[in-house]
Structure 1
């Protein structure tokens, strides 16, 4: 099925509107990892919980571009999960 550029832009805009910001603090690292994910808040929380409970040795999250971020669970300092953000488009009064 071929899609027009407008349809593709609409799909990607819809995905960006539901993006969840995730900040991951890693022990002995000067900066945190920040990514926007298409995964739901509940799904990210479940993956973090499974990693911290010892079910897996890696926390694996996927960003909105399809890239995977892998962090060893024994190096996790904290994980901050933000609510989905709605991005406003256009110009307006502040």
Structure 2
């Protein structure tokens, strides 16, 4: 699952590949915002990504699609 996180005052967004389900990610985001804590996700390599909930601009949850070749 690909998760794209926009962070306030950052020029680039974070893109994370994770094994979490969309429902699980949505729940983690909601809990982090509700508690004004940290959004904590683990990527597919086992790395832990922490983002302060107060700095979240948006979270986009979607399926990663591999692209091979060039677009015309």
Q: Which of the five TM-score ranges fits, normalised by the shorter chain? A: 0.7 to 0.9
Unaligned 5+ runs, structure 2: 67-72
Tell me by how many angstroms 1:80 deviates.
0.3
- Partner of residue 81, structure 1: 61
Q: How many residues align?
A: 68
- Kindly name which structure, 1 or 2, has the bigger radius of gyration based on alpha carbons: 1
Q: Kindly indicate which of the two structures has a greater share of residues assigned to helix.
A: 1
Cα deviation code 1:33-53 (max 9, x no counterpart): 001001111111110010111
Unaligned 5+ runs, structure 1: 1-19, 88-94
Displacement over 3 Å in runs of 4+: none
Normalised TM-score (structure 1): 0.65
Normalised TM-score (structure 2): 0.84
Q: How does 1:1-94 map to 2 (within 5 A)?
A: 20-54=1-35, 57-83=37-63, 85=64
Q: Kindly indicate which of the two structures has a greater share of residues assigned to strand.
A: 2
CA RMSD of aligned residues (A): 1.9
